[in-house]
Structure 1
Amino acid sequence: MRDSRLTRAASGLRDLLGRFPGTSWLIGGEEAEASHTLRQGMLGSLLIMVGSWGVGWLATTPGSVLVVNPLLLPLRTTTAGVVTCIVLLALGSLLLVRSWLRISQRLGGWGPHAVPVLRRALVMWGAPLLFTVPIFSRDVYSYIAQGRALHAGLNPYETGISELPGWFAEGADGLWAESPSPYGPLFLALARLIWFSSDDVPEAAVVLFRLLSLLGVVLMVVFIPRLAEGLGSDASWALWLCLLNPLSLLVFIAAAHNDALMIGLMVAGCWAMLTQRRWWGAGLLLGAVTIKPIALVVVPFAVLLLLSDTSSRRARLRQWLWIGVIAVLVLGVLGLSLRVGFGWIPAALGAGSAALPAAPVGLLGLGLGEAAAAVTAVDADTVAAVFFAVVRLFSGVVVAWLLLRPRLGNPVLWAGYGLAVVVVLSSVLQPWYLLWLLPLFAVVHVYRGRILVLVSLLITLLVVGVIVLQVSVAQWIDATTVQLIGVGVGLAYLVYLLFFDPNTAELFDISRRSERWNRSEGWARLRELSSPAVSWRRPQRHCEPGGRGGEDADGPAQSVGEGDR
């Protein structure tokens, strides 16, 4: 496939443009030189930024300063402007995907030398996204509405934002209009403060939420490498997978999602527990829970990092009792401060009791409900609700089984297994849920081969699919046609990346076997989850500040697609 006529033409064009003074700064360069890829990624982000001005989500309230902005109106109200913006959005997204893949090849291998380059890439690629109109998701407007609801004296865990007059004009998705809030009390308190501080200007509130998300990104930049070093993975690889991928950039920065803050607090808490800073660790982990309660799944695993040896169930129980008491005190005080007590925990965790057909469990539950209603007098929604409750109970049993195994694996890795079970068995499945899982795996192992190809492909497909389908188009413009144009451009570029690009096609070779690497284990075939030979023990030599431990000579100095055939 790499010898095809299109591939040879692409290689020839690249060589030509690499010699031309007007384009050599962007195209070409030595293969071990990352500067060209850094600039290409920044160009992709700039294209996304401009594209978002025409098809991003805007509130239509009187306080909006952008909805009638004369500079944006031609992009948002004319067919030519909207089509141009959707094309820019699709091209920019795929160029960002390509840059993410290519930088793994141009770093000259993973290691300490790559970390500064990746941090520079994060700044260059992320900076233009700070100036986007919200894209990929419009949940940030739901944050604003829930902050407003709390300020108005409503309980967001009991009433939906549809109780607010004019809520739809504020930009929130109608899908969640009557759903209880899935967020923790600290985040709702911050949302109320942001809504009050923005003086009813939605763009100002978006900026403040984006800054809050950036705090989470900073926490990840600082603590993902430290946690990876402490647990024997590679800091640069973990940064590349968890933060440089376009899905993270779009969700954390462009969409201003609170997932960034939850994940940042979560990994910082795990690092604090690993380095025996138990009170800091408890505060950070419970802070993550008060942003999004799904982080509760990680807490009982992470607290076991305090133990030098996890073979004793009695020792595990002592840690769980300790964190349980702290959680009751901290979460209780926060709940009381919002006058919701502990009722926010089941309300927030149950906010996902709705169903999205994109989720396998959601689709199955809806199907069972309709089938039962067709042959009995039972209401379809009742059957679906019972089914979802049973599935949630089953996922809780699986998590408990992992925690109580006689030989417990690495607590962070097994937290990833537990959270993956909860996510996969949820009746609501959103693209950014993948981002919750990546750090829990990346800080423990470096992966290569088929498993990494599948993850890279999934990220690519999610970016292409969601960013061109979740767009805002004026009523008088045919939204379906605009979306089809975006999908067509995206798919054409995607096919080129997968099969014809002389540099990226080889990264999607599905025939390479799956392997994972850890400093204390070396490379090993990726096996199904099984009981480890011995229960996890804290690797003291990996916890030394700045230490590389005893890194194997044949460590992960390989790019994304490499591995034995």
Structure 2
Amino acid sequence: MSGRTLSAPVQSARRAALRFRELLGSFAGTSWLIGGPEGQVSHTLRQGLLAVLMIMAGSWGVGWVAETVGSVLARNPWLLPVRTTTTGVIICTVLLVLGALLLLRSWLRLSQRIGTWDEQSVPVVRRALLMWGIPLMFCLPIFSRDVFSYLAQGRVLHAGLNPYQSGVSELPGWFAAGADSLWAESPSPYGPLFLLLARGVWFVSFEIPEISIALFRLVALVGVVLMAVYIPKLARAFGSAPGWALWLCLLNPLSLMVFIPAAHNDALMIGLILAGTWYALRRRRLLAVLLLVAAVAVKPIALVLLPFAVLLTLDSTVSYAQRFREWCFAGVIALVLLIGGGYSLGVGIGWFTAALGAGSAILQSAPVGLIGLALGWVAQLGLGWDSAAVAEAFYHLARLFSGIVLALMLLRRRLGNPVLWGAYALTVVVVSSSIIQPWYVLWILPLYAVVHVYRGRVLVLVTLLLTVMVLNSMVSQLSVAQWIDTAVVQGIAFAVAAVYLIYIVFLDPNTTELFSMREESQRWNAADGWLPLRELSTPDTSWSRADIYQDHGAPAVHRPIDPDQKAR
């Protein structure tokens, strides 16, 4: 790591890697990708473009394809050789994994080449988002195949059934259509607005899954655009760095994979949350509440943030009477829209009860889930109790704990920045869940990033978390034909990932410093400067509009981070 004495083999490997890079940079055919002055970002943008092109090509061999009669690609003669032969599948797997890691490296290198996160970095990051995002629109679904479950649940609603009571297996052909078997008899965890969108997609796609995937990606793209617009606005208002916030929240490989190829509805939910938060800050109460309720109607987890975000309309959060006034205003609108919308769709309030048990069919793999399983096993072994009942009781206690924490935060007299405290609340809810999916971290990142810039060990840990989640899903979520040994393909993918990851973390002279754990965790904004995380405490006064760093009507202010402390 940076700042440590390295062993002779590691130093030799580093020198060899550097010489190889210099060699590639000297050829006309590769200098456009490898060479160039360190101050230019164009080479890094092109490296990221190459990475997503590799991912796109790899997805054609190991991405998910529906096997229905209406599928255009299931038996396409151009794709069959790479999807049905061992050689084709292995080549595509290597391309996919190498592309994901090259994208990770490009993301990290872009932060170094930009340097100071002033206003001039925002268009650079948006250009990178455009260059790296467009090729991913042409991938087969990778990372997750939930997009097929979206379509299946839309089909269930279109057939007049209640997706909160009927699983996708209620209708024939669901498995061939690509839906994961864990949703066969499980209730939908999504809100009524998203189910309405899913029904519309099913209706207009003419049972051609490729059309439905494209439409769901357009829905996700709306969320990405909302994030690209409102993350910088909120970051300016709270004194964070807009370019850094965009870089962290939208350009990281996990966001790009989840929001575009996988077409997850999380993108739309997050975009609506950020838009509603911005309009609450601008005191446009009705529009803010409508956007926040729409986010809840996409994924009910957004309900956690609603009572925090609506407080941004107040001059000060000192008064409990004013807090309750905003909560009542938002609550009445939410109840009318969500309950009325649910009954108009014929699904009632099933979205709320289903959300409390969302993902119950998924393996309980989070810390709380594993503890619950362990307690159930011990109770059955020692006392003869039902292990499943004990585990479920523990999960209910964890949810109750998170609810109590949220209530205490909302009722605290010295309530801090509502966006930041909303991030704390959502973190508590996620950590208290018995299931944590890789993309849950994407719900939380923007809420932290628009208030503060982070560096040191905390940013290293976030980077490693994003990396592990991307690679784990890339390796485990491969669509491989039954006659090809999946374990062999996954083993090759793991080996390639491990070798490249070791290079990025330990050998690459340009990226190893980004993984150093020697620098303490700190956060920064323009009002406070750098503050160590370990020295932070609850605020001395409750949040007020006077704490807004930049009013929405003021011109943009250039607030570069300390020049001797470049952002990561």
Matches within 5 A, 1:81-480: 81-354=88-361, 356-480=363-487
CA distance in 2, matches of 1:348, 1:551: 41
What is the CA-CA distance between 1:172 and the residue it aligns to?
A: 1.0
CA shift digits 1:471-495 (9 cap, x unpaired): 1100000001100100100010000
- Which deviates further from its counterpart, 382-391 or 262-271? 382-391
CA shift digits 1:434-483 (9 cap, x unpaired): 00000000000000111001101111111112112111100000001100
Give, as a single letter, the amino acid of the residue that structure 1 aligns with 2:137.
Answer: L
CA distance in 2, matches of 1:51, 1:405: 51
- Which deviates further from its counterpart, 355-364 or 310-319? 355-364
CA distance in 1, matches of 2:566, 2:161: 54
What is the CA-CA distance between 1:6 and the residue it aligns to?
A: 1.4
Give, as a single letter, the amino acid of the residue that structure 2 aligns with 1:167.
Answer: W
Q: Please tell me whether the aligned partners of residues 353 and 385 of structure 1 are also in contact (alpha carbons under 8 angstroms).
A: no
Percent pairwise identity? 61
1:46 equivalent to 2:53? Answer: yes
Aligned equivalent of 2:534: 527
CA distance in 2, matches of 1:106, 1:388: 45
Aligned equivalent of 1:28: 35
Name the Cα RMSD after superposition.
Answer: 1.6
Aligned equivalent of 1:488: 495
Aligned equivalent of 1:544: 552
Q: 2:567 aligns with which of 538, 541, 559?
A: 559
What is the CA-CA distance between 1:382 and the residue it aligns to?
A: 1.8
CA shift digits 1:341-394 (9 cap, x unpaired): 223212223224455342111111122222222334432222222221111111
Q: Please tell me whether the aligned partners of residues 354 and 428 of structure 1 are also in contact (alpha carbons under 8 angstroms).
A: no
Q: 1:70 aligns with which of 68, 73, 77?
A: 77
Aligned residue pairs total: 560
Give, as a single letter, the amino acid of the residue that structure 2 aligns with 1:542.
Answer: Q
CA distance in 2, matches of 1:546, 1:165: 58
Q: Please tell me whether the aligned partners of residues 274 and 543 of structure 1 are also in contact (alpha carbons under 8 angstroms).
A: no
What is the CA-CA distance between 1:168 and the residue it aligns to?
A: 1.0
SS in 2 for 1:524: strand
CA distance in 2, matches of 1:47, 1:463: 15
Q: Please tell me whether the aligned partners of residues 294 and 349 of structure 1 are also in contact (alpha carbons under 8 angstroms).
A: no
CA shift digits 1:73-122 (9 cap, x unpaired): 01110000000011001100000000000000011311111111111100
Give, as a single letter, the amino acid of the residue that structure 1 aligns with 2:44.
Answer: T
SS in 1 for 2:530: strand
Give, as a single letter, the amino acid of the residue that structure 2 aligns with 1:168.
Answer: F
What is the CA-CA distance between 1:536 and the residue it aligns to?
A: 1.0
Aligned equivalent of 1:80: 87
Q: Please tell me whether the aligned partners of residues 276 and 291 of structure 2 are also in contact (alpha carbons under 8 angstroms).
A: yes
SS in 2 for 1:289: helix
Give, as a single letter, the amino acid of the residue that structure 2 aligns with 1:14.
Answer: R
CA distance in 2, matches of 1:22, 1:550: 39
Aligned equivalent of 2:510: 503
What is the CA-CA distance between 1:250 and the residue it aligns to?
A: 0.2
Distance change (3 Å), C-alpha of 1:556 and 1:52: farther
Distance change (3 Å), C-alpha of 1:229 and 1:556: farther
CA distance in 2, matches of 1:239, 1:288: 20
CA distance in 1, matches of 2:446, 2:53: 27
CA distance in 1, matches of 2:465, 2:145: 22
Distance change (3 Å), C-alpha of 1:414 and 1:556: farther
Give, as a single letter, the amino acid of the residue that structure 2 aligns with 1:337.
Answer: S
Distance change (3 Å), C-alpha of 1:540 and 1:143: same
Distance change (3 Å), C-alpha of 1:116 and 1:550: closer
CA shift digits 1:200-252 (9 cap, x unpaired): 11111111000100000000000000011111111000000000000000000
**What TM-score does the superposition give when structure 2 sets the normalisation length?**
0.96
Q: Please tell me whether the aligned partners of residues 262 and 289 of structure 1 are also in contact (alpha carbons under 8 angstroms).
A: yes
Aligned equivalent of 1:563: none
What is the CA-CA distance between 1:550 and the residue it aligns to?
A: 8.5
- Which deviates further from its counterpart, 172-181 or 535-544? 535-544
What is the CA-CA distance between 1:527 and the residue it aligns to?
A: 3.0
SS in 2 for 1:63: coil
Q: Please tell me whether the aligned partners of residues 247 and 432 of structure 1 are also in contact (alpha carbons under 8 angstroms).
A: yes
Q: Please tell me whether the aligned partners of residues 146 and 188 of structure 1 are also in contact (alpha carbons under 8 angstroms).
A: yes
Q: Please tell me whether the aligned partners of residues 157 and 348 of structure 1 are also in contact (alpha carbons under 8 angstroms).
A: no
Q: Please tell me whether the aligned partners of residues 34 and 103 of structure 1 are also in contact (alpha carbons under 8 angstroms).
A: yes
SS in 2 for 1:87: helix
CA distance in 2, matches of 1:555, 1:198: 52
CA distance in 2, matches of 1:158, 1:556: 58
SS in 1 for 2:61: helix
What is the CA-CA distance between 1:26 and the residue it aligns to?
A: 0.5
CA shift digits 1:44-95 (9 cap, x unpaired): 0000001111111111111111110001101110000000011001100000
Q: 1:16 aligns with which of 20, 23, 29?
A: 23
Give, as a single letter, the amino acid of the residue that structure 1 aligns with 2:247.
Answer: W
CA distance in 2, matches of 1:550, 1:31: 23
Q: Which blocks of at least 5 consecutive residues in structure 1 are unaligned?
A: 561-565
Q: Please tell me whether the aligned partners of residues 356 and 427 of structure 1 are also in contact (alpha carbons under 8 angstroms).
A: no
Q: Please tell me whether the aligned partners of residues 57 and 472 of structure 1 are also in contact (alpha carbons under 8 angstroms).
A: yes
CA distance in 1, matches of 2:386, 2:163: 27
SS in 2 for 1:168: coil
CA distance in 2, matches of 1:355, 1:88: 29
